[in-house]
Amino acid sequence: MASKYHIHTEPAPPRFRPIGKLGIVEWREDCSSCHNCVKRACVYGLFRDEADALHETHDFLDYIYQCKGCLSCVQNCTKGILTRVVNPEYKRLGDAYFTPDIVAVTWFQSETGKIPVSGGGYNGPFSGAGFDSMWTDMSEIVRPTRDGIHGREYISTSVNIGRKERHLAFKDGQPVPPPPLLEIPMPVIFDVIPSRWRRGPIVAAVAKAAAQTGLLTVVDADDIPASPGRSNANMLPQLARAAQGDAFAAAPVVMLPDGEDVFEAHRALKARSPNRIVVVRTRANPRAADRISRFAAEGVEAICLTFDPHGREDAPANPRHVRDVLREVHRRLIKDGTRDQVTLISSGGIALAEHVTKALLCGADLVAIDVPLLLAMECRLCKECGPGRPCPIALENIDLDYAARRVVNLVGAWHQQLIEMMGAMGMREARRLRGEVGRCMFYEDLERDTFGRLFGQRKADRPAL
Amino acid sequence: MTIAPNTTSPQSPEDFVAEPGFAAVSRETRVAPPRYRNEIGKFVVPRPDACGQCGRCGAHGVHVRPWRYNLIIRPFEYRCIGPDCKTSGRYCVGACPNKALSVTLNPVFETIGDFRWTPDLIVSTWKMAETGQLPPSFLESETGNSGGGFDRLRFRFPAAPPKDLRREDISTKLLLNRRDDGREKVTIDVPWYGGGMSFGSTNIHALLAKVRAGKAWNTFSCTGEGGYPQRFIPYADHMIVQVATGLFGVREETIQRAKIVEFKYAQGAKPGLGGHLLGSKNTPSVAAMRETVPGVSLFSPFPFHSVYSVEDHKKHLDWIAHVNPRALLSAKVSTPTDVDMVAVGAYYAGAHIVHTDGSYGGTGAAPNVAKKNIAMPIEYGIGKVHQFLVNEGVRDKVTLIASGGVRTPADIAKAIALGADGIVTGTAELVAIGCIRCTACESGRGCARGIATTDTELLELVTIDWATQRLVNLYSAWREGLIDILYRLGLDSVSALRGRTDLLMHLDYEGSDGAA
């Protein structure tokens, strides 16, 4: 048996003081310098620096990152001079999809490599858009789970890229070798870093993290320096045209953009090196299912279905989310009888560890991520960078090993969370997650089956999605 | 015989035997003020220098000049009832001759709480725990802001309740044993009992307060899976013993002590995952109770490694049924998609109580990914299980208890109308004794507010008598609120409400127009 897949994480403290959510503000002029100052009692030691010199004035201290918001100091101060505020800078982190909470939790995972754990029941909304409108299942008495989390039974997160034939083929009485199939230890690959972030060692750091975790990183062929041994086994060159393929003979997988001559280019690449897997990247749009069905029929073995960073398809109005497009594409391929002949990689809209599991349940074989990799390096998505404009946190100066470490930590934490969710589902194989809608529940279905049964029609202005 | 409460503190279980008064507890409501000087309310009334100390502002206990004080002390702002006060005739802002006072929203108020426990819900729970009365109307004390489930369900109240219905005749009793198996027909006075919290996860003072409130209201609390500290023994008739997957503290004598034994198959906040007590909370006394080594993180596995089928489950229940021939058996399960099958399986294996814990239930520590994503909210689970039990023809043989996101009397009534017999509460009890839902129960020395901690210094932040009174008050207010709903619906008992989905509407569905 192959050795157990394990991602080694080690703490990588932030380079900059992270932007925390809560801050304690005090009206220092009203302080009576009493002997029982609540700051001494902070169980998190937030004011430790200050407590040493409590009665002296000193510079501004930023407690925002560490404050856990227990309010003990605010509620106990003899003079009531402390108050709590939500950091306005925190609210500006990220964007509408990569919310401040997602940015903060990504930073935590990149720093520690640990699963975010907290007490108290879930404090978010009942459900939400996209991936937030589905729940994964768990197994109870009648469907015992496997305890892979504490290591008693191994939960495999490996998935394959490539074609799986339905049956053995023979030619002249000899078995035809099966098509190439690449196994990666986790259903995540790193997508091309958008040009805005291709600065300093960022691309190299992502490649290094891919090598350390055994995953793949998609790299623009033009960005790979022209020298022998220039690509490694963890690089997935994204070619602009088929002719570039010759330069990457060692790469086990290459990627081609969709286009008018894509089938020709695909055939040309396969003719030159039959043992190389060719992924075709296509944009998600309302016709994606037809397009992918065609790809499968034409013998394309892997497809990267690409959404925008917020997980939306290209559509003039009401673009669908990854969740719904994947379900449609998956069902279509099953109907065609070609589902196992293609690997479906979903790119875009993956912001949290749970999105990996959910994308797989909706029908992807694996996902590609990009923005979370940058968040791992402390990016705030301020979008102030650009061609010739510097990054406010100088990402171009980040240390390569440190940046790779942060990415590895994030991937390690995501891997652990994937295992948690699979363990709860009673699943031992990430390959079996694909399209397994029997192990998840969709908001609209649950609404229809419970409240729809009782209360009839949903109001038009409050659709289930 | 009446037993006078004894004020000297008991030292051992034997003291309780010698002096039953130690364990006496009353359901009388008494004011239990907040334990923080600067309690958080919805409004603030700053007192600027322009104040002339005339004392004309002394309404509602906000502005106080204690006896022999020359000056009015800093206002107790949490008592302020806000701009509604204008019509009360005792409005301090209007009474101030210097126009020094003003009432504004408290900025801290807006930073507390979350979608499910809004600031209004937290503060209204505090109010109920303080006074034992239903919260004031300026707080939205019935629903949260989660945008689904209980928060979008409303009751269809008839125009007027029947004339012959009297509030004092409305019964809130709940029968827990519906099997005719010779075991005790345990009945509790309110349709809820306290959820399991283990010795180790939660302050022993809070746990004792929980079980004392359970005793006062003739209901139950639950040990969780941390064993059975001796201090619980005087309240044994009101303590459910939990058998969870780690089997911590499960012994023959603890099983035999219980009126109800609960099997925790899963927990709503982390369904399909085991428990995890962080090493820092595993103090010597916790470790002794759990028969482990102090300082080591303790994992409970998932699932019970002796239960891999319904047949195993039956054997499991039989085992306890024989160890304690008088106990009722409860199976606590989570809400997977096949929760209805699980519930029926639990019934046929011999459970008296099927307890389903929804995915938004409480926990001392769980991966965020599990709390948010795994298994469905209880609002979906209740109806599913209820209907399945009805179709199976066994609904009246089993008690269905729901939990996981039940915060208010309105939630209790909605859960029951959806098909549950009663509910289990946990988070609301902790909020009543000062929890602010900062979700940092697990970090460092544990809860900074002294609730979810085993740190010897922090334990003292919560005292048993105070916390007991807060919970007794909360229960009292809840019962009042529940009776209020039943009265307005024209029902004479909680059991008459069960499964009455015709009395409910959902704001997102047609036909709910005109709803409040």
A136 contacts B368? CB cut-off 8 A:
no
Q: What is the pLDDT at residue A376?
A: 97
Task: For residue A346, list its beta bridge partners.
Answer: A305, A367
Whole-angstrom Cα distance, residue A220 to residue A240?
A: 8
Do residues A171 and B328 touch, judged by C-beta distance below 8 A?
no
A149 contacts B383? CB cut-off 8 A:
no
Distance from CA of B72 to the nearest CA of A (A): 14
3-state helix, strand, coil in chain B (%, to 5): 35, 10, 50
Q: What is the DSSP string of A107-161?
A: HHHHHH----EE-SS--S-S--SGGGGEEE----TTS----TTTTSSPPB--EEE
A121 contacts B372? CB cut-off 8 A:
no
Tokens of A352: 């949290």
Is B378 part of the contact surface with chain A (CB cutoff 8 Å)? no
Is B115 part of the contact surface with chain A (CB cutoff 8 Å)? yes
Q: How far, in whole angstroms, is CA A315 from its chain's centroid?
A: 23
B375 contacts A135? CB cut-off 8 A:
yes
Whole-angstrom Cα distance, residue B282 to residue B363?
A: 17
What residues have CB less than 8 Å from A83, skipping those under 6 apart? A24, A25, A26, A27, A74, B107, B108
Q: What is the pLDDT at residue A324?
A: 96
In chain A, which among 372-431 make CB contacts under 8 A with chain B? 417, 420-421, 423-426
Selecting from B74, B342, B438 the residue whose C-beta is nearest the C-beta of A70 gives B438
Say which amino acid occupies A195.
Answer: S
Say which amino acid occupies A398.
Answer: I
Q: What is the pLDDT at residue B444?
A: 64
Whole-angstrom Cα distance, residue B493 to residue B491?
A: 6
Whole-angstrom Cα distance, residue A354 to residue A424?
A: 13
Closest CA to B320 of B237, B398, B261: B261
A120 contacts B441? CB cut-off 8 A:
yes
What residues have CB less than 8 Å from B249, skipping those under 6 apart? B199, B223, B225, B226, B227, B228, B289, B290, B291
Whole-angstrom Cα distance, residue B16 to residue B234?
A: 6
Whole-angstrom Cα distance, residue A71 to residue A196?
A: 40
Q: What is the DSSP string of B122-139?
A: HHHHHHHHHHSSPPPTTS
Q: Is the dihedral of CA B89, B92, B96, B99 positive or negative?
A: negative
Selecting from B299, B364, B510 the residue whose C-beta is nearest the C-beta of A119 gives B364
Burial B149-181 (b: 16+ CB within 10 A, else e): bbbbbbbeeeeebeeeeeeeebebebebbbbee
A201: left (phi over 0), alpha (psi -120 to 50) or beta: alpha
Phi, psi of A181 (to 5 degrees): -140, 125
Q: What is the pLDDT at residue A152?
A: 59
A76 contacts B448? CB cut-off 8 A:
no
In chain A, which among 323-352 make CB contacts under 8 A with chain B? 352
Three-class secondary structure of residue A219 per DSSP:
strand
Distance from CA of A81 to the nearest CA of B (A): 10
Closest CA to A358 of A310, A449, A421, A429: A421
B451-469 confidence digits (pLDDT tens): 999 888 899 999 999 999 9
Three-class secondary structure of residue B86 per DSSP:
helix
Which positions of chain B have pLDDT values less than 70? 1-13, 17, 443-444, 513-516
Task: For residue A234, list its beta bridge partners.
Answer: none
Taking each helix axis from N to C end, the angle separating B119-131 and B464-489, rounded to the nearest 10 degrees, works out to 110
Is B317 part of the contact surface with chain A (CB cutoff 8 Å)? no
Three-class secondary structure of residue B179 per DSSP:
coil
- Walk along chain A (465 residues) in steps of 10 and give the mean pLDDT of each run: 81 86 81 86 76 51 66 91 89 94 95 92 94 89 50 83 90 91 96 91 94 94 66 85 82 92 93 93 97 95 97 95 97 96 97 98 98 96 84 92 97 95 88 94 95 91 70
Is A88 part of the contact surface with chain B (CB cutoff 8 Å)? no
Do residues B407 and B116 touch, judged by C-beta distance below 8 A?
yes
Whole-angstrom Cα distance, residue B336 to residue A97?
A: 28
Q: What is the pLDDT at residue A51?
A: 57
Selecting from A75, A140, A455 the residue whose C-beta is nearest the C-beta of B266 gives A140
B87-135 confidence digits (pLDDT tens): 888 899 999 999 999 999 999 998 999 999 999 999 999 999 999 999 9
Is B310 part of the contact surface with chain A (CB cutoff 8 Å)? yes
In chain B, which among 425-484 make CB contacts under 8 A with chain A? 427, 435-449, 452, 455, 458
Task: For residue B331, list its beta bridge partners.
Answer: B263, B354
Closest CA to B340 of B376, B373, B366: B376
Is B105 part of the contact surface with chain A (CB cutoff 8 Å)? no
Taking CA–CA distances from A145, the nearest residue in chain B reads B303
Closest CA to A342 of A160, A154, A183: A160
Burial class (CB in 10 A: 0-12, 13-18, 19+), B210: buried
What residues have CB less than 8 Å from B159, skipping those under 6 apart? none
Is B167 part of the contact surface with chain A (CB cutoff 8 Å)? no
Whole-angstrom Cα distance, residue B378 to residue B366?
A: 18
Do residues A221 and A240 touch, judged by C-beta distance below 8 A?
yes
Taking each helix axis from N to C end, the angle separating B204-216 and B464-489, rounded to the nearest 10 degrees, works out to 40
A126 contacts B303? CB cut-off 8 A:
no
- In this prediction the pTM is 0.93
B448 contacts A72? CB cut-off 8 A:
yes
Q: Is the dihedral of CA A143, A452, B391, B496 positive or negative?
A: positive
Is A142 part of the contact surface with chain B (CB cutoff 8 Å)? yes
Q: How far, in whole angstroms, is CA B247 from its chain's centroid?
A: 24
In chain A, which among 91-130 make CB contacts under 8 A with chain B? 105, 115-127
Say which amino acid occupies A441.
Answer: M
A44 contacts B443? CB cut-off 8 A:
yes
A140 contacts B342? CB cut-off 8 A:
yes
A122 contacts B359? CB cut-off 8 A:
yes
Closest CA to B373 of A131, A359, A413: A131
Whole-angstrom Cα distance, residue B307 to residue B354?
A: 17
Do residues B434 and B206 touch, judged by C-beta distance below 8 A?
no
Distance from CA of A232 to the nearest CA of B (A): 34
- Residue B147 CA: distances (Å) to CA of A82, A128, B124, B173, B507: 33, 9, 20, 31, 10
Taking CA–CA distances from B41, the nearest residue in chain A reads A75
Three-class secondary structure of residue A386 per DSSP:
strand
List chain B residues with CB under 8 Å of A438. 337
Whole-angstrom Cα distance, residue B357 to residue B427?
A: 13
Instruction: Measure the CA angle with vertex A168, ends A165 and A171; round to 5°.
Output: 120
In chain A, which among 3-62 make CB contacts under 8 A with chain B? 22, 42-44
Whole-angstrom Cα distance, residue A403 to residue A203?
A: 10
List chain A residues with CB under 8 Å of B362. 120-121
A68 contacts B510? CB cut-off 8 A:
no
List chain B residues with CB under 8 Å of A441. 337, 376
Contacts of range A99-104, beta carbons closer than 8 Å, 24 or more positions apart: A100/A21, A102/A351, A102/A352, A102/A375, A103/A375, A103/A380, A103/A381, A104/A18, A104/A19, A104/A20, A104/A21
Q: What is the pLDDT at residue B28?
A: 94
| Best of A449, A451, A459, A465 to mutate (most B CBs within 10 Å, chain B) | A451
| Best of B121, B198, B338, B368 to mutate (most A CBs within 10 Å, chain A) | B368
Residue A251 CB neighbours (<10 A): 24
Selecting from A84, A144, A421 the residue whose C-beta is nearest the C-beta of B111 gives A84
Closest CA to B225 of B205, B235, B240: B240
Selecting from A137, A142, A357 the residue whose C-beta is nearest the C-beta of B375 gives A137
Q: What's chain A's Rg over C-alpha atoms?
A: 25
| Best of A126, A143, A416 to mutate (most B CBs within 10 Å, chain B) | A126
Burial B437-451 (b: 16+ CB within 10 A, else e): bbbbbbbebbbbbbb
Q: Where are the beta strands (DSSP E) in A248-360?
A: 253-257, 277-283, 302-306, 343-347
Is A77 part of the contact surface with chain B (CB cutoff 8 Å)? yes
Closest CA to B203 of B265, B283, B138: B283
- Residue B439 CA: distances (Å) to CA of A69, A295, A354, B35, B336: 9, 48, 20, 20, 25
Tokens of B367: 């991966």
B439 contacts A123? CB cut-off 8 A:
yes
Q: What is the pLDDT at residue A245?
A: 80
Whole-angstrom Cα distance, residue B371 to residue B368?
A: 5
Do residues B39 and B7 touch, judged by C-beta distance below 8 A?
no
B269 contacts A118? CB cut-off 8 A:
no
Three-class secondary structure of residue B140 per DSSP:
coil
Is B346 part of the contact surface with chain A (CB cutoff 8 Å)? yes
List chain A residues with CB under 8 Å of B338. 140, 142-143
Closest CA to A133 of A287, A353, A362: A362
Say which amino acid occupies A95.
Answer: D
